[in-house]
Amino acid sequence: MTVTQPSDQAARERIREDLDSTLFVEAGAGTGKTSELVRRIVRLVASGRTEMQRIAAITFTEAAAAELRDRVRIELEKAAGETDSPSSEERTRCEAALAQVDAAAVETLHGFARRILAGHPLEAGLPPSFDVLDEIGASITFEERWTAFVDDLLADQSLEETLLRAFTLGLTLEHLHIVALEFHRHRDRLEDVTIDVGPLRAVDAGPLVRDLEQVCELRASCQDPDDGLYRHLEGLDMYRRRLAAAETDLVRLSIWAEGTRMKCSVGRRENWDGVTPSDVRGLLTEADQMRSDLLWQARSSLLSPLLAAIRHFILKYAEDRRRQGRLEFHDLLVQARDLLRRDALVRSAVREQFSHLLIDEFQDTDPIQTEMAVLLAAKGVDGKSPPWHEASIEAGRLFFVGDPKQSIYRFRRADIVLYQAVQERFSGETVRLTQNFRSVKPVIDWVNHIFAGLMAEETEGQATYVPIEPWWEPPETTPVTVHVLGGPSEGLVSSIRQREAAEIARIIEAAKAEGWPVGEIQGSGERVIRRAQYADIAILMPTRTTLPPIEQALEEEFGL
């Protein structure tokens, strides 16, 4: 170790001491953000600003919440037992906080939402005792309800013609199922959505028939009936005649959807008189575009009543879950958010119950979670609360920790644009932790070099890269380097994967044989360097597709 205190010590001190400000902390990997979060909690308690039972510390997973609770307990025990610096009042407060740790709101946001609902079930429209379905139970229940809904949908006389047309144009029940799952996943966004449903329109094939008739008549300008373009027009004229003779909308749609090829790339110029094959092909392209537009319009008009029916099904299902007290995980957030939105008395009670909200892993937070946090930190407002981006919050009630570079839950609605908006709205200055305690200088230098080039400039939805600084220097007798494997390769994918696997096996053997240095923190806090063992090495891969060749290479190299 070459330094006596972190290079970002001023930022760490501000986290621990600036307790009356709303802070937004960006902390890179390995910078000890959880430690600083714990220290802020301890300082809030020790300084007398609040009690442990009035703090809500929110993190992303239950495992992280359990670890955070344990670390808070350990630090409170240390503070309560200190006899040097803390005052007797601070020690007494920390000792009292220890009795509150187990019941404190150190949990995931879903757990916190459940806590709010359990405290105010009647106001939320829930039974006094409600259940939360696990993922498997929720999936089974949804599929049962979906099956019943499909039966009702197919039996609905008012939608019979709509469904016949839609199925004729290629829609399937599986397509509707996929839409239903997405609506279900984002059902809170459906409440403010209106889907306009109009009467089914007649299928007018006239414009397309007339355009095809005009282009097919150009066959008279061709001098060779064996010309490829001539033969193509002959076949297309048969298609036109069928379309013109169709007596019902359903038959017209089925002919549209056949996919008969209109565009053509053949035709010899010398065979045509008064018109060129290029002119004819251009007209065919226009006719093909007209058919595509007509199909798109038809499909769009058919989707509206089906989407409206699915929307009604999803909202009705959500209402049934609330009334029956059988919620899903996402329901916890939606119901808690809606309760805090509409009920000023409950909002005031929860704000009184929790004086401080500390949110870890904020880069993975979605709009509902953001709104809940702001609702609890906002200054008292009677009646319906304003939108979160218009609310004024009380200084010091909110504390955010995150790293936008580590946001990987876009599919769960985590949004870097939202992260940036919250950062700008509620914190005039970002506090950055940049001292890395996990890796040594050569690794950090390489990471900084690579990512500074990839994330050079911050834009909407994309974070800029903030370089991190190494705390540990490897001993001169044990040099550390970064080995980059692979590169551009030619050949079959299977052979490339075999070469890649062989190189991975070779580098693992080298790490063991050459005794690459591994740093370990002893119980005393001292860092020691030892030789690498196989147990120190992990192989990460994007999918299991690459696993078989790697297993084979390891077996050949080590007999594993």
Give residue-wise pLDDT tens across range 199-239.
888 888 899 999 999 999 999 999 999 999 999 999 999 99
CATH topology of domain 9-125+329-471: Rossmann fold (3.40.50)
Report the alpha-carbon distance of residue 219 to residue 224 in Å, rounded: 10
pLDDT of 536 above 70: yes
Q: What is the pLDDT of residues 482-515, one digit of tens each?
A: 888 777 777 888 888 888 888 889 888 888 888 8
User: Which DSSP string do the residues of 364-430 spell out, in sequence order?
Assistant: G--HHHHHHHHHHHBPP-SSSPPPGGG--B-TTSEEEEE-GGG---GGGT--HHHHHHHHHHH-SSE
Is residue 560 pLDDT above 70, yes or no?
no
Q: Residue 103 carries which DSSP code?
A: T
Q: What is the pLDDT of residues 232-270, one digit of tens each?
A: 999 999 999 999 999 999 999 999 888 888 998 899 999
pLDDT reported for residue 85: 65
Percent of the chain, pLDDT > 90? Answer: 54
Question: Could you tell me which residues come within 8 angstroms of residue 86 by beta carbon, excluding any fewer than 6 positions away?
Answer: 46, 79, 94
Report the candidate in 73, 76, 104, 105 with the shortest Cα–Cα distance to residue 90.
76
Q: Which one-letter amino acid corresponds to residue 483? A: H
- The residue among 19, 13, 70 whose CA lies nearest residue 358 is 19
| pLDDT above 90 for 53 | yes
pLDDT in tens, 106-121: 999 999 999 999 999 9
Share of the chain above pLDDT 70, in %: 94
The Cα 498–Cα 102 span in angstroms is 52
Helix (H) or strand (E) holding 292: helix 277-324
Cα distance between residue 55 and residue 377, in whole Å: 12
Mean pLDDT value of segment 15-21: 93
Stretch 127-139: mean pLDDT: 94
What pLDDT score was predicted for residue 2?
47
Q: Which has the minimum average pLDDT: 70-79, 243-252, 399-408, 545-554?
A: 399-408
399 pairs with which residues across the strands?
Answer: 23, 358
Cβ neighbours for 418, distance < 8 A, ≥ 6 positions apart: 365, 366, 367, 370
More reliable by pLDDT, 51 or 519 = 51
pLDDT band at 1 (very low <50, low <70, confident <90, very high): very low
User: Can you give the pLDDT at residue 231?
Assistant: 94
What mean pLDDT do residues 369-374 have? 88
What is the reported pTM? 0.81
- Domains of the chain, residue spans: 9-125+329-471, 131-324, 483-558
Q: At which residue do the structure tokens 């537009």 appear?
A: 293
